[in-house]
């Protein structure tokens, strides 16, 4: 959902303002604060050139304590900025902690935007001073302020049987091939959940949601996904909570894929018959990242041979004789090419979502991944970003 | 070189004709035959959905004997064609063996083109009948007949100190991210070399040449590289031969990258300071496959942050403090962002080849990879291939 009246769960408030990091003058600095300590889980990029915010959040995570706030800037990733970048990142957490009167070690940070430029710290710290003035339950200003090349904000919510809620927000449009999380996904809940149990379940949820999204195969230096639960709505059933959280994250993941840079449609690949969930997800995601399949989807071309190609390079075990492929529900391959009405299938691909189903014929595991078509617009968006 | 007067080494003859596999009416069926038995080495795609020709060549390879001929068709990959595809592939080898009067087990096969369609066997077998009529030493007709979306034929040659020669041909323009070899590279030599020594050295040569090329990250079902040496020019020094072979293959690899689908320029990434050659090659190739870096190269945008991103996701170990990056020779990063004249560097990128040099600061190994820019033309080439 992207409704403007979405509110954060009990105890969470957010603020956003234009600090002048983005040349466009759009909002680019925001925070979310909880009036109670939050149990939390986190997943950050596997990139070996991870940004300062990812590195620092990992340190806070390793200490194991609860957190109280998150501060986000868009327009500058503060990545590849060396020791100065690390100091700037810590200074932002210190400043927000100070104005909110919470310990700096309970403040998480997130930066997104161009790589390789130092933050304009005067503007950032000046903005942080004014963040407390705008704190409210409204989610829309925060969801907008974390965007870069996104064309629309991305939010999702779930309400548990006890009345506890989960509200998720995400941003991401290019450099999307998360390898732990996408850049960014934040979920907030007033449910009471055990932090250890949450942390144990989180990697699996991320694997089936954000790590199943790809726009261009490029993994960001700043990817992160996190969930903060402050317990203000009381204890909940853990299994119900985790299922609802996965639903929120899956919704956000699909929104990210559909809003991929230059995208005109969502690409969904469902794989069954795999030896393992990991192989099913690998096969599905390799299809979604293939520039050749993405181009075919853009042109409504039912060129299913590119699915066979992508599955083949994914490393997933296949039994070609037992393989099955459908395009928008039409069977096109079952151990051998099947006759089908190409014009009719092409017409059916002229839709907001194109679905390929692939049975690998090698086992019982399944997985699903999401991407988008590749358009000429992707190239024009990315051929002239800095200059 | 692409000169039309290039001849094959002693003892090799080739023929090409239009069998009617390509709707365009261009030549699409060809063969190369040697009048003496050839020592040979081979590398085929690691795809788990490899085509019939790759599977059969692997079987011939495993038997370990010498070979006499190669038959190639373009316009149809004969991949994902099931048991009938395998029978068709064997029938083509049988037919060429019969008309050349050599054992079918000494005939290699190669198919390239669309995946998932049975070959028009009447036309193919009818064409094979007429191949012997056209046999000659000329290389140009063969180099042209193996093309699909290539815009130009790709050949390279070397002459050893003894007068023995190596002539290489290749094709490939899209679905290029070889994982053993590219689709296709054939080298022929009249040198006398030991087959066991040749086979031992071949994987390393392929790793540093064809496996360092990428156009779009998509690995073909039909990739293969091979070298055939018939000894007609006598014994040669093995080290000299292997160095010359690597030079020929490197030349062909760069030609493939420069002729990538929609490409307007060659992208070269040289990595030093890696822990191992494998990590250097992985880092270099991940840069070359990045749609974001490829788009920036297309737009003459010196957005070196995308190099940091791509290296970070490659898995290669880095020491960020010791990292160095140059764009067309201009230093832009040395543990931190460096000031540089963006307009001048952008001007320098308006060239047939754009070179990034990256020192990972983590070791002493080096590697180089080649790709091309990403243009809107890539999308239009691939959005409407079958329909």
- Helix pair A121-130, A82-100: axis angle to 10 deg: 10
pLDDT of residue B386: 55
A210 φ, ψ (degrees, to nearest 5): -70, -35
- Chain B residues touching A362 at Cβ < 8 A: none
Does residue A5 lie within any of the structural domains?
no
| Contact between chains at B308 and A218 (C-beta distance less than 8 A) | no
B270 φ, ψ (degrees, to nearest 5): -105, 120
CA distance B360 to B382: 35
Q: Give the total number of structural domains in chain B.
A: 2
Q: Quick one: which H or E segment has residue B342?
A: helix B342-348
Residue pair B97/B109 in contact (Cβ under 8 Å)? The answer is: no
**Are residues A316 and A240 located together in one domain of the fold?**
no
Q: Average the pLDDT over each of A143-147, A262-266, B176-180 and give the range with the smallest value.
A: B176-180
As annotated, the active-site residues of B are 182
Higher pLDDT, A287 or A178: A287
Distance of CA B168 to CAs A108, A342, B242, B244, Å?
57, 39, 13, 11
Q: Average the pLDDT over each of A21-25, A67-71, B175-179, B328-332 and give the range with the smallest value.
A: B175-179
**Are residues A202 and A249 located together in one domain of the fold?**
yes
**Are residues A243 and A353 located together in one domain of the fold?**
no
Q: Quick one: which H or E segment has residue A206?
A: helix A195-208
Closest Cα in chain B, distance from residue A183 (Å) = 13
Name the domain boundary from A258, A279, A297: A258
Does residue A30 lie within any of the structural domains?
yes
* A5: number of Cβ within 10 Å: 8
Quote the tokens at residue B12: 């090799």
Quote the tokens at residue B384: 């409407």
Interior CA angle at A315 toward A314 and A318, to 5°?
Answer: 100
Does residue A2 lie within any of the structural domains?
no
Phi/psi region, residue A11 (left: phi>0; alpha: psi -120 to 50; beta: rest), is left
CA distance B106 to B65: 8
- Chain A residues touching B175 at Cβ < 8 A: 292, 309
Residue A4 a catalytic site member: no
pLDDT of residue B1: 42
Name the domain boundary from A204, A233, A258: A258
CA distance B376 to B144: 26
Average pLDDT score over residue span A106-111 = 95
- Chain B residues touching A304 at Cβ < 8 A: 116
Does residue B1 lie within any of the structural domains?
no
Which residues touch B40 (CB under 8 Å, ≥6 apart)?
A: B61, B66, B67, B108, B195, B198, B226, B227, B228, B229
Residue A246 scores a pLDDT above 50: yes
pLDDT of residue B180: 44
**Are residues A251 and A275 located together in one domain of the fold?**
no
Residue A356 scores a pLDDT above 50: yes
* Positive or negative torsion for Cα A267, A273, A274, A276: positive
- Chain A residues touching B344 at Cβ < 8 A: none
**Are residues A194 and A288 located together in one domain of the fold?**
no
Closest Cα in chain A, distance from residue B371 (Å) = 14
CB-nearest to A298 from B114, B220, B379 is B379
Residue A5 scores a pLDDT above 90: no
| Contact between chains at B317 and A175 (C-beta distance less than 8 A) | no
**Are residues A128 and A61 located together in one domain of the fold?**
yes
**Are residues B142 and B248 located together in one domain of the fold?**
yes
Q: Which of A188, A216, A212 lies closest to A281 in space, CA to CA? A: A212
Q: Quick one: which H or E segment has residue B258?
A: helix B238-258
pLDDT of residue B385: 53
Interior CA angle at A83 toward A178 and B335, to 5°?
Answer: 80
Does residue A4 lie within any of the structural domains?
no
* Alpha-carbon Rg for chain B in angstroms: 21
| Contact between chains at A379 and B384 (C-beta distance less than 8 A) | no
With CA atoms as reference, the chain A residue closest to B332 would be A116
- Chain B residues touching A118 at Cβ < 8 A: 337
**Are residues B125 and B189 located together in one domain of the fold?**
yes
pLDDT of residue A342: 92
- Chain B residues touching A311 at Cβ < 8 A: 48-49
Binned at pLDDT 50, 70 and 90, residue A176 comes out as low
**Which tens digit of pLDDT belongs to each residue from A322-355?**
999 999 999 999 998 999 999 999 999 999 999 9
Is this complex's ipTM strictly greater than 0.90? no
Q: Which of A59, A45, A72 lies closest to A131 in space, CA to CA? A: A72
* A64: number of Cβ within 10 Å: 9
With CA atoms as reference, the chain B residue closest to A220 would be B309
Q: Are strands A107-114 and A67-76 parallel, antiparallel or unpaired?
A: parallel
What's A134's DSSP letter? Answer: G
Q: Say if residue A171 carries a ligand binding annotation.
A: yes
Does residue A387 lie within any of the structural domains?
no
With CA atoms as reference, the chain B residue closest to A316 would be B48
- Helix pair B82-100, B52-63: axis angle to 10 deg: 60
Report chain B's terminal Cα–Cα distance, integer Å.
35
- Chain A residues touching B385 at Cβ < 8 A: 296, 301, 303
Closest Cα in chain B, distance from residue A206 (Å) = 18
With CA atoms as reference, the chain B residue closest to A85 would be B336
CB-nearest to B49 from A84, A309, A381 is A309
- Cα A116 to chain centroid distance, Å, stands at 22
- Chain B residues touching A220 at Cβ < 8 A: 309
Distance of CA B50 to CAs A30, A312, B46, B104, B152, Å?
50, 7, 7, 21, 26
Binned at pLDDT 50, 70 and 90, residue A128 comes out as very high
Closest Cα in chain B, distance from residue A357 (Å) = 16
Q: Say if residue A148 carries a ligand binding annotation.
A: yes
**Are residues A317 and A217 located together in one domain of the fold?**
no
Report helix, strand or coil for B105. helix
**Which tens digit of pLDDT belongs to each residue from B134-190?**
999 999 999 999 988 788 898 999 999 999 999 989 887 766 666 544 568 788 898
Q: Say if residue B171 carries a ligand binding annotation.
A: yes
Does residue A1 lie within any of the structural domains?
no
**Are residues A303 and A246 located together in one domain of the fold?**
no
CB-nearest to A309 from B175, B296, B382 is B175
Task: List chain B residues with pLDDT less than 50.
Answer: 1-2, 180-181, 387
CA distance A348 to A343: 9
Name the domain boundary from B258, B292, B311: B258
User: What's the full length of chain A, in residues?
Assistant: 387
CA distance B310 to A144: 27
Residue B339 in contact with partner chain A when CB distance is under 8 A = no
Q: What is the DSSP string of A273-329?
A: EESSHHHHHHHHHHHHH-HHHHHHHHTT---THHHHHHHHHHT----GGG-EEEETT
CA distance B167 to B158: 7
User: What range defines the domain where residue B320 resides?
Assistant: 266-382
Percent helix, strand, coil in chain B, to 5, is 35, 25, 35
Q: Say if residue B330 carries a ligand binding annotation.
A: no
Residue A86 in contact with partner chain B when CB distance is under 8 A = no
Residues 199-218 of A with CB under 8 A from B: 216-218
Residue B383 in contact with partner chain A when CB distance is under 8 A = yes
With CA atoms as reference, the chain A residue closest to B49 would be A312
Which residues touch B376 (CB under 8 Å, ≥6 apart)?
A: A376, A379, A380, B262
**Which tens digit of pLDDT belongs to each residue from B59-69?**
999 999 999 99
Q: Quick one: which H or E segment has residue A29?
A: strand A29-44
Q: Which of B44, B55, B77, B80 to mutate to test the interface with A (most CBs of A within 10 A)?
A: B80
Q: Average the pLDDT over each of A105-109, A130-134, B39-43, B325-329 and give the range with the smallest value.
A: B39-43
CA distance A3 to A301: 35
Q: Say if residue B261 carries a ligand binding annotation.
A: yes
Average pLDDT score over residue span A198-206 = 86
**Are residues B244 and B281 located together in one domain of the fold?**
no
Residue A63 scores a pLDDT above 90: yes
Residue pair A363/A247 in contact (Cβ under 8 Å)? The answer is: no
CATH number at residue A340: 3.10.20.340
Q: Which of A336, A172, A353 lies closest to A269 in space, CA to CA? A: A353
| Contact between chains at B49 and A315 (C-beta distance less than 8 A) | no
Residue pair A169/A6 in contact (Cβ under 8 Å)? The answer is: no
| Contact between chains at B320 and A80 (C-beta distance less than 8 A) | yes
Q: Which of B287, B305, B301, B303 lies closest to B370 in space, CA to CA? A: B287
pLDDT of residue A387: 45
Phi/psi region, residue B79 (left: phi>0; alpha: psi -120 to 50; beta: rest), is beta
CATH number at residue A120: 3.60.70.12
pLDDT of residue B181: 44
Q: Say if residue A387 carries a ligand binding annotation.
A: yes
Does residue B4 lie within any of the structural domains?
no
Name the range with the highest mean pLDDT among A33-47, A92-106, A180-194: A92-106
Which residues touch A209 (CB under 8 Å, ≥6 apart)?
A: A246, A249, A250, A252, A253
The mean predicted confidence, pLDDT, of chain A is 89
Quote the tokens at residue A97: 């902690």
Distance of CA B205 to CAs B139, B177, B188, B198, B248, Å?
23, 16, 15, 10, 10
**Are residues B205 and B69 located together in one domain of the fold?**
yes
pLDDT of residue B172: 79
pLDDT of residue A1: 42
Binned at pLDDT 50, 70 and 90, residue A2 comes out as very low
């Amino acid at each position: 959902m992207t409704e403007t009246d979405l509110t954060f769960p009990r105890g969470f408030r957010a603020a956003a303002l234009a600090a002048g990091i983005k040349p466009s003058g759009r909002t680019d600095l925001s925070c979310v604060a909880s009036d109670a300590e939050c149990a939390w889980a986190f997943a950050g990029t596997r990139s070996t050139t991870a940004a300062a915010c990812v590195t620092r959040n990992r340190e806070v995570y390793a200490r194991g304590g609860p957190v109280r706030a998150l501060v986000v800037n868009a327009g500058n990733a503060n990545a590849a900025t060396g020791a100065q970048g690390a100091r700037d990142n810590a200074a932002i957490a210190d400043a927000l902690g100070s104005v909110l009167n919470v310990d700096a070690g309970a403040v998480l940070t997130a930066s997104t935007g161009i790589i390789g430029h130092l933050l304009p710290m005067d503007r950032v710290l000046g903005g942080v001073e004014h963040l407390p003035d705008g704190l409210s339950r409204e989610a829309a200003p925060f969801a907008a302020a974390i965007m870069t090349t996104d064309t629309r904000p991305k939010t999702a919510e779930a309400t548990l049987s006890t009345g506890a809620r989960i509200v998720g927000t995400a941003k991401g449009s290019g450099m999307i091939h998360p390898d732990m999380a996408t850049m960014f996904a934040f979920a907030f809940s007033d449910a009471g959940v055990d932090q250890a149990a949450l942390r144990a379940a989180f990697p699996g949820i991320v694997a089936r949601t954000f790590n199943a999204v790809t726009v261009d195969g490029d993994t960001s230096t700043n990817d992160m996904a996190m969930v903060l639960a402050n317990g203000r709505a009381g204890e909940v059933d853990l299994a119900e909570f985790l299922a609802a959280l996965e639903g929120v994250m899956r919704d956000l993941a699909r929104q990210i894929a559909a809003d991929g840079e230059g995208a005109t449609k969502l690409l969904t690949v469902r794989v069954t018959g795999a030896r393992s969930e990991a192989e099913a997800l690998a096969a599905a995601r390799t299809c979604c990242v293939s520039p050749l399949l993405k181009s075919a989807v853009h042109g409504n071309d039912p060129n299913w041979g590119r699915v066979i190609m992508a599955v083949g390079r994914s490393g997933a075990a296949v039994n070609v004789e037992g393989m099955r492929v459908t395009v928008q529900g039409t069977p096109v391959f079952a151990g051998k090419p099947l006759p089908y009405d190409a014009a009719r299938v092409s017409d059916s691909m002229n839709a907001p979502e194109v679905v390929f189903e692939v049975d690998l014929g090698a086992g019982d595991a399944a997985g699903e991944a999401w991407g988008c078509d590749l358009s000429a617009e992707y190239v024009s968006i990315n051929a002239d970003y800095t200059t």
